Structure 1
Amino acid sequence: MTGLYLEEFSAGQLVRHSITRTVTESDNVLFSVMTMNPQPLHIDFDFASKTEWGKPLVNSLFTLGLMIGISVHDTTLGTTIANLGMTETVFPHPVFHGDTIRVETEVISVRESQSKPDRGIVEFEHRAFNQDGTLVAKCRRHAMIRKRLA
């Protein structure tokens, strides 16, 4: 298990995740179909070719999931009790087939639970960038994290 316990997080901590991922057409189409999202901007090349982008955009919920997923090995693998919510989620630039995504995570705040002594809450800000360094996604996430057993 490589996840960090509550005591190992501190506000201002920045993790630049070493895992990167190139997004494929298959990723985008499969995710869109699996989530029952028929948006032609994601799955119809002809439709997408007539938009301002000229090609399909990767489903933004795939991008969100990928961004958080890339962060897991370095932050919360095996130590998360629950995700409590995500806020301030933005997609300032589209992701396209063939883009390679890298992620960094900043710890915004850490606090112990007021009702359960074995856990606490960490607020993360995840940021995803494409291969050109352009910010493609960002969100704040609150997660309930285990404390290290004494």
Structure 2
Amino acid sequence: MTERYLEDFTVGQTFRSGQVPLDAERIKTFAAEFDPQPFHLDETAARDTIFRGLAASGWHTAAVTMRLLVESDLKPAGGIVGAGFDEFRWPRPVRPGDELRVESEVLEVRPSRSRPDQG
């Protein structure tokens, strides 16, 4: 798919990504380097935490989400840059065996006030 420009988007348009499965090894590998907390590193230790079992780091799921967005058909011209988030929540834990995917919906199409040349 080629890059999309502002005029290529319509309200209600949806974009779906592929899926990324997370297993215990991937969860622990990410956590060991970037979020070394017991509930991300060790099944036994994780049982006695708020998660009651091994759970992926929220930052791991955020990184996977970014990959899925970049690889989806969304493809805004110039890339996904500086979008920002008003809210960022992890409503429930991601467990070994879960698969992550992203679905994006266009809610509004308007030129940027601060960067009108970028949509």
TM-score, normalised relative to structure 2: 0.79
Structure whose residues are more often helix by fraction? 2
| Equivalent position of 1:13 in the other structure | 13
| Equivalent position of 1:33 in the other structure | 32
Deviations 1:25-47 (A, max 9, x none): 23222222332x22111112221
| Equivalent position of 1:79 in the other structure | 78
The 1:62/1:81 distance shift into structure 2, 3 A limit, reads closer
Q: What is the RMSD computed on CA atoms of the aligned residues?
A: 2.3
Distance 2:40 2:93 in 1: 11
What does 1:1-150 align with in structure 2 at a 5 Å threshold?
Answer: 2-17=2-17, 19-35=18-34, 37-51=35-49, 53-72=51-70, 73-76=72-75, 79-80=78-79, 82-114=81-113, 116-120=115-119
Task: Give the letter for the 1:28 counterpart.
Answer: I
Instruction: Give the ranges of 4+ consecutive aligned residues of structure 1 lying more than 4 Å apart after TM superposition.
Output: none
| Equivalent position of 1:143 in the other structure | none
The 1:67/1:81 distance shift into structure 2, 3 A limit, reads closer
Contact 1:5 / 1:79 at 8 angstroms: preserved in 2? no
Q: Which has the higher contact order (CA 8 A, sep 6+)?
A: 2
Task: Give the letter for the 1:40 counterpart.
Answer: P
The 1:2/1:96 distance shift into structure 2, 3 A limit, reads farther
Distance 2:85 2:68 in 1: 16
The unaligned stretches of length 5 or more in structure 1 are 121-150
Classify the secondary structure of the residue corresponding to 1:75: coil
| Cα offset, 1:51, TM superposition | 3.0
Deviations 1:35-69 (A, max 9, x none): 2x221111122210223543211011111221232
- Equivalenced residues, count: 118
Structure whose residues are more often strand by fraction? 1
The unaligned stretches of length 5 or more in structure 2 are none
Distance 1:102 1:20 in 2: 5
